[in-house]
Structure 1
């Protein structure tokens, strides 16, 4: 009998039951997919770190190298398990041609380095996570270029410099635990030892990677301090094991977090959808419930009848969602498989998503039980007498038809009803708020990553062009010549020379640590500061967000810096955001020692009428081998893959949200029409037409949709912004401001959602024509 009742109920409400099934399934699908992503990301990253024997500490260095001092340090330091010094031949992009022999990499933001395969650790792997070996004339290309340049096995790579030329055949693609992610602007190409020797003698400059593996990685901070205090080579950035993990997980981690957020919101909406469905079903069956109670059917049996349908429905939907996730998860994990490799599938990779789906199923069942407590308030006499649950809790007010001034009658009655029964309409309001949040939040995040202003979170001012010179023997002289030429160039609107040097700072634990300080005039291309402002004069310093936290400094605090062999007490003038160089940088106007300079930078703006692409080509030729970067293209090249995946998630979120708004509105109106059947009959009997009544319902839903849109916009701007702050704080940019397109976020998207609600209302109130409300007055 129970199965027959469930079957009859499903057949009677096929569309509603189908819609509810779809949304529970989608919620299960997304929560399972997010779990799959997290498990795949964790497993693949751990496998890559293990297979490559990732170093725990890496000091990059340009210039001469005192190898004997390094060996002495290693022999005396008990924390070191293994050490190697890796040569990397840095070649200017204008000398490198990937696939296309006519177009060089001059416009690329990536620093191109050629290396030999390492012997002990920091191994460079192929797509099967096996150690790469190449013969003469062969090359293994970073996996970044496989997607960026659409390269394939067998394509050619050419390196030229004057009369020297070398052609290589691509035989593999490189997974590099240090430089894999697109956001890391250095890439390593693997060549044979003989080819490396030939390249080294004709093109590029040598840079060193001084790498360490420790016996205990938990003592990384202690080791870093001992290295920095030993006076060892340090002209370059420092990177470590935790940073490798963060950077490799960044892109897919963001996508997983967005999917988890959408799945949680979808679960809330699915529960609200379930509530509407159950209440509407109870409204329709109110007399039947009264009859069952009157004949003595136990309350538990009545509950079981209603619970059976939704338990079966939720179980089937959850199973289907989990089953689909086994196939669709590949769409979300394709990037993980490409960049990190596919880890062997363990039992946990199936159990964790299954547990996540089981949890969502349990939440649905628990909520069903909570809703069915309404049976306790139903009496047989009331149900048989009225046939409906009544109008519920209402609010009396001074809103009377005679007091209205400018509102039309139907609009006024709709407004009055919303006010009188706001507790009931509040559920629909909550759905609209959540739906709009699910739409606006991914759209705003996508706009932020695509915005040219995002460059400010990389610790640089927003100039058009950036010119980089790495430290070498004659870099200082070339830098001065470059400045002289740029200052005389009529195409240049303004420029700002900036020099980054290595200083010593007294840390929070009273140990002298290395700190990279950029010196120059920061008023020309100003940064965005979380607190305070730019350093002025020689007694002020601005710290990156992560540096400020590690040094435990706020604006107005002082710190001790060694500059020019003397200790200086500097006041923190400002704190800014920076996700480059591990997020640990500083800005000041200090005299610098040319011996401690790591790199030179010139930020440039060209005149408005000058084509940027042509000017970049001109500057690249004039200042070879300087790296010339168009900052707009920098974001596209480093964040392009993240933007691509986020765009897919955004489209999915918009589609799901609109569909949810349509379904919930139709369910809500179905419940409302069943509840208001007597009132509709009375309105018809005193002269209101069907069109009038439909306008009243339209005014109600549009009022709720309009108010929900305002609250949704507000929620996206507050809660959404807070979520972005939390995510950015892990990267050194705790105050990332969402870039909002006001026309899209405040007009087009809310208007689209309101239109969907309006069309659904018009369609749902068509049932007034067919329901025979006019005949009920006679009953």
Structure 2
């Protein structure tokens, strides 16, 4: 008997059951894929770095010395277990063109390397180790091929100094060290023969270098090695295993957001399930009363409902598990393009666990919701589900005092009279919309100039010239930088663009604090003053022995404002007092800002930031944009950017966040449609006799449809307005810890009122009206004669 009742119920409420099945499927798909994605990225990063052989510490050096510049330093360190060295050649993106001579897009300095000399393991798209490359062929790492729309088999030209090579790209190589979006350097793997041609070139500006992958003994203190290495000339980068892992932060954030979406979809499914159960039981008061009258206990009746939801949960979980596999692979595609994730079948186990969690949660929630069966008695079947008269007023609204249309009055009155009934729409649409708005705020902030002061000082324009920068990164390069800045200022003045051109240099120095030594990047501007930068607390450094530190450095060293640290400048050691805190995303916040008179030496240069142009005639914003285009032609350089573009280029993650934003928006619209169809069909079924009465008294289909649609519009308006208001604190709550990991603790988020209060809420609102309006067309099938169906 139970089986026949269950079978008839599934057929009779087909639409509601299909939509409930769809939500369970979506919840399972997102929970399963979310769990596997987080595990894949979090564990996969360590797996990839270990499999590639990155080691515990990495040092990159640039120069012309063909010997081991830090061989003696590494041999003297007791904590060093072993190290591997590979020779590389540094270039820049201007080296790269297609077969027609068109410049190809690449980011930062390029690295050329022979696969035979490689100590790091590289992998192709099939995760197979690359062991050999034929002469005239090459592999590119990072997103070089994707950005330039290149395919395996395409040819590119490499012009390096006096050498020109034409190579065929065999595909993309996965580079554990330089392949992350935050490192952003493109490495080209060549044959020994081709790399030798580049390495033998002696033209001016040609830079060679070395990369060391260092393994430390268990329990070793990395700071000792960092301190020893920092005193050597030519160190452009040195970092720990954990720092390199952090360069994959954007991939981790995307995986984390998918997990958040999974949890939200699960909550939405619970809300829909509660509505479904409550509505079903309330509508079946007669059947439940009769069953109790003939002696069937509440437990058995609840078991009937539980069997139904168990069947839906299992079917939805199976479908969701199957869909989660390709969906998870799709979400991990951008990550696996640059990483070897590993894990294998363990991730399928997590996806299965996710499906099991959803089924168990659905059943527990369903069991709780079916308690309503206990409240119904046989007498309810006789009294049409009513247990007495209602003496309280339904709503403060009165039709006689309403100046609006009847449809609008009925819609608002319905919502105010039974707010709990419409809470499902409000809560669901609120959760989905606030997630979308969170991502909109995050993307808007990343594409704005609000972060520019965490990267450099605020200027009118920024541009990079890698050839000049790399040529200046020598022990005697400071005078070259000074001359270049002066010559550039003269060139701009001759073209009616009077400006001051500045640059910021990063040095690697040994810093002693609290009895421990550290290797820390120190920032100092050329043609700038310490007062040109922003500080969050304290005083601006006013002499050479005053410095500012970031919260990251304060946490690392224990130093605070007023404390003294010792900086070894190579030629002398100075005790410097900490006078201020500032924020920086350079080196994930692990930097110190020096006064402009500090005795720095280009022998310890680590990197140079973009050149900055500050116009001295205060041009308007539109004029600055015009000058930007003019400077591009004047310098023959496309990398001229305003502050917002410079932030976007430096972070290199806004596009990924924007893609996730549109994915969330699409999912939200799907949820909106499903919720509207589910609830409107339920309302029509429940109010069939009322609709028939309205038609009998002269109401047209159009007015009744408008009434039903207006109800959804009203509650959706409440939901999206609440989401818009709450999106600001939610953005601070979610994004704060993420930016803190990047070195920024205080940030003014960019909140675009048009997007937050109009465009995206408007999209959700219009989709609601469309979905509910189309579903309400079923009202036309109800006739005035159906009034006789009142029970």
TM-score in terms of structure 2 length: 0.85
Instruction: Quote the Cα distance in structure 2 between the aligned partners of 1:527 and 1:161.
Output: 37
Q: Is 1:430 the counterpart of 2:431 in the alignment?
A: no
Q: Report the counterpart of residue 376 of structure 1 in structure 2.
A: 374
Q: Report the counterpart of residue 620 of structure 2 in structure 1.
A: none
Q: Is 1:701 the counterpart of 2:712 in the alignment?
A: yes
Q: Contact 1:519–1:590 at 8 Å: present in 2 too?
A: yes
Instruction: Quote the Cα distance in structure 2 between the aligned partners of 1:253 and 1:773.
Output: 60
Residue 5 of structure 1 deviates from its aligned partner by: 1.7
Instruction: Quote the Cα distance in structure 2 between the aligned partners of 1:758 and 1:352.
Output: 39
Q: Report the counterpart of residue 731 of structure 1 in structure 2.
A: 742
Q: Report the counterpart of residue 505 of structure 1 in structure 2.
A: 511
Q: Is 1:590 the counterpart of 2:596 in the alignment?
A: yes
SS at match of 1:165: strand
Q: Report the counterpart of residue 485 of structure 1 in structure 2.
A: 487
Residues 79-98 of structure 1 mapped to structure 2, 5 A cutoff: 79-94=79-94, 96-98=95-97
Instruction: Quote the Cα distance in structure 2 between the aligned partners of 1:501 and 1:288.
Output: 80
Deviates more, 1:202-211 or 1:60-69: 60-69
The equivalent position to 2:631 in structure 1, one of 612, 615, 627, is 615
CA gap of 1:460–1:320, structure 2 versus 1, over 3 A, is: farther
CA gap of 1:56–1:320, structure 2 versus 1, over 3 A, is: same
Structure 1 alignment gaps of length 5 or more: 622-626
Residue 81 of structure 1 deviates from its aligned partner by: 1.3
SS at match of 1:386: coil
Instruction: Quote the Cα distance in structure 2 between the aligned partners of 1:531 and 1:129.
Output: 51
Q: Is 1:657 the counterpart of 2:663 in the alignment?
A: no
SS at match of 2:370: helix
Deviates more, 1:274-283 or 1:663-672: 663-672
Residue 531 of structure 1 deviates from its aligned partner by: 5.5
SS at match of 2:520: strand
Q: Is 1:353 the counterpart of 2:351 in the alignment?
A: yes
Instruction: Quote the Cα distance in structure 1 between the aligned partners of 2:137 and 2:708.
Output: 72
Q: Report the counterpart of residue 324 of structure 2 in structure 1.
A: 325
SS at match of 1:59: strand
Q: Report the counterpart of residue 787 of structure 2 in structure 1.
A: 775
Q: Report the counterpart of residue 624 of structure 1 in structure 2.
A: none
Q: Contact 2:114–2:192 at 8 Å: present in 1 too?
A: yes
Q: Report the counterpart of residue 236 of structure 1 in structure 2.
A: 236
CA gap of 1:417–1:234, structure 2 versus 1, over 3 A, is: same
Instruction: Quote the Cα distance in structure 2 between the aligned partners of 1:658 and 1:24.
Output: 17
Residue 545 of structure 1 deviates from its aligned partner by: 4.5
Q: Is 1:387 the counterpart of 2:385 in the alignment?
A: yes
SS at match of 1:376: helix
1:311-349, CA deviations, whole angstroms, 9 ceiling, x for partnerless residues? 101110110110122233322222233212363623x12
Q: Contact 1:682–1:777 at 8 Å: present in 2 too?
A: no
SS at match of 2:712: helix
Q: Report the counterpart of residue 436 of structure 2 in structure 1.
A: 439
Residue 134 of structure 1 deviates from its aligned partner by: 3.3
SS at match of 1:652: helix
Q: Report the counterpart of residue 25 of structure 2 in structure 1.
A: 25
Residue 433 of structure 1 deviates from its aligned partner by: 0.7
Residues 179-218 of structure 1 mapped to structure 2, 5 A cutoff: 179-200=178-199, 201-203=201-203, 204-209=205-210, 211-216=212-217, 218=219
Q: Contact 1:276–1:664 at 8 Å: present in 2 too?
A: no
Instruction: Quote the Cα distance in structure 2 between the aligned partners of 1:393 and 1:462.
Output: 70
Matched positions, count: 765
SS at match of 1:662: helix
Residue 373 of structure 1 deviates from its aligned partner by: 0.6
Q: Contact 1:89–1:113 at 8 Å: present in 2 too?
A: yes
Residue 80 of structure 1 deviates from its aligned partner by: 0.8
Instruction: Quote the Cα distance in structure 2 between the aligned partners of 1:163 and 1:72.
Output: 34
Instruction: Quote the Cα distance in structure 2 between the aligned partners of 1:330 and 1:80.
Output: 39
1:520-571, CA deviations, whole angstroms, 9 ceiling, x for partnerless residues? 57689976766678656556544344334323456x5544243763534434
Instruction: Quote the Cα distance in structure 1 between the aligned partners of 2:111 and 2:790.
Output: 88
CA gap of 1:633–1:182, structure 2 versus 1, over 3 A, is: farther
CA gap of 1:483–1:670, structure 2 versus 1, over 3 A, is: same
SS at match of 1:514: strand
Q: Contact 2:38–2:256 at 8 Å: present in 1 too?
A: no
SS at match of 1:709: helix
Instruction: Quote the Cα distance in structure 1 between the aligned partners of 2:664 and 2:389.
Output: 35
Residue 194 of structure 1 deviates from its aligned partner by: 4.4
Instruction: Quote the Cα distance in structure 2 between the aligned partners of 1:88 and 1:69.
Output: 14
CA gap of 1:373–1:326, structure 2 versus 1, over 3 A, is: same
Deviates more, 1:359-368 or 1:46-55: 46-55
Q: Report the counterpart of residue 516 of structure 1 in structure 2.
A: 522
Q: Contact 1:522–1:534 at 8 Å: present in 2 too?
A: no
1:572-614, CA deviations, whole angstroms, 9 ceiling, x for partnerless residues? 4332130x33432233323233344444553125763645356
Q: Report the counterpart of residue 111 of structure 1 in structure 2.
A: 109
Instruction: Quote the Cα distance in structure 2 between the aligned partners of 1:132 and 1:461.
Output: 46
Instruction: Quote the Cα distance in structure 2 between the aligned partners of 1:658 and 1:400.
Output: 35
Instruction: Quote the Cα distance in structure 2 between the aligned partners of 1:679 and 1:167.
Output: 79
What is the root-mean-square deviation of aligned Cα atoms in Å?
Answer: 3.8
Q: Report the counterpart of residue 60 of structure 1 in structure 2.
A: 60
SS at match of 2:311: helix
Q: Report the counterpart of residue 315 of structure 1 in structure 2.
A: 314
Residues 322-721 of structure 1 mapped to structure 2, 5 A cutoff: 322-341=321-340, 343=342, 345-346=344-345, 348-387=346-385, 404=401, 411-412=408-409, 414-451=411-448, 453=450, 455-459=452-456, 461=458, 463-467=460-464, 469-470=469-470, 471-488=473-490, 489-490=492-493, 491=497, 493-508=499-514, 510-511=516-517, 513-520=519-526, 538=544, 540-552=546-558, 556-562=561-567, 565-578=572-585, 580-591=586-597, 592-594=599-601, 595-601=603-609, 602-604=611-613, 608=624, 610=626, 612=628, 615-616=631-632, 618-619=634-635, 630=641, 646-672=657-683, 697-721=708-732
Q: Report the counterpart of residue 35 of structure 2 in structure 1.
A: 35
1:602-659, CA deviations, whole angstroms, 9 ceiling, x for partnerless residues? 31257636453562454368xxxxx96646766666766x555545543332232223
Instruction: Quote the Cα distance in structure 2 between the aligned partners of 1:542 and 1:118.
Output: 45
Residue 696 of structure 1 deviates from its aligned partner by: 5.2
Q: Contact 2:689–2:790 at 8 Å: present in 1 too?
A: no
Q: Report the counterpart of residue 287 of structure 2 in structure 1.
A: 288
1:378-421, CA deviations, whole angstroms, 9 ceiling, x for partnerless residues? 1221342133588999777765556x475566545544543343
